[in-house]
Amino acid sequence: MNNTLYLASGSPRRRELLAQLGFELIRLYGDIDETPYAGEDACDYVERMAREKNDAALAQWHTEHAHEPPHPVLSADTTVALQGKILGKPADDAEAEAMLHALSGSTHQVLSAVCVYWQGRQHVCVQCSEVTFADLSDEDIRRYIASGEPHDKAGAYGIQGLGGLFVTHLSGSFTGVMGLPLFETAQLLRQCGICLPT
């Protein structure tokens, strides 16, 4: 096996982080329904999403090929949870505004799950970080939403961008909050017998 991974994710942040580790990446596609189940725990939800994305990518692969993928398939999912409530990607500006108001001045959890399929087995890990936001004014929120950054991000913010200005404390993994916890991902790949290129 060389340093190639199949990536079952359209996230440019995950692609960038894996490329930093030295992997060559080939995109695999597979759409899933990301709606949480009623009363679903955030940790269970994020792990289920990572597994289902992996399953969908593998199903798509097998519709086109009669053999197993020659490289590992990696998928991931990240969600934000505030007092047990899952905050996904906002549907519109109004939902982004409501999420940011809820996060203002409080501590929330960011959970990232990583799933690797290799040689007939799925391996999964979940990493949880705690993030504390400053008190945000209405103007802070309005200007942030106007930047366009919240639109495709769980919890309506990106820590690696302008959203980092709101974070007063982080306990956990910065890259996990970005969408792919590098330490845990490297451990998971090694568990699968995959050596990091770097």
The strand pair at 85-87 and 121-133 is best described as: unpaired
**Residue carrying structure tokens 């096996």:** 1
77 tagged catalytic: yes
- Set 55, 77, 92, 140: catalytic member: 77
Chain-centre distance of CA 130, in angstroms? Answer: 15
Please state whether 11 falls in left (phi above 0), alpha (psi between -120 and 50) or beta. beta
**Residue carrying structure tokens 């060389």:** 2
DSSP string, the chain: --SEEEE----HHHHHHHHHTT-EEEE-------PPPTT--HHHHHHHHHHHHHHHHHHHHHHH-SS--SS-EEEEEEEEEETTEEE---SSHHHHHHHHHHHTTSEEEEEEEEEEEETTEEEEEEEEEEEEEPP--HHHHHHHHHTTGGGGSGGG--TTTGGGGGEEEEES-HHHHHT--HHHHHHHHHHTTPPP--
Catalytic residues: 77
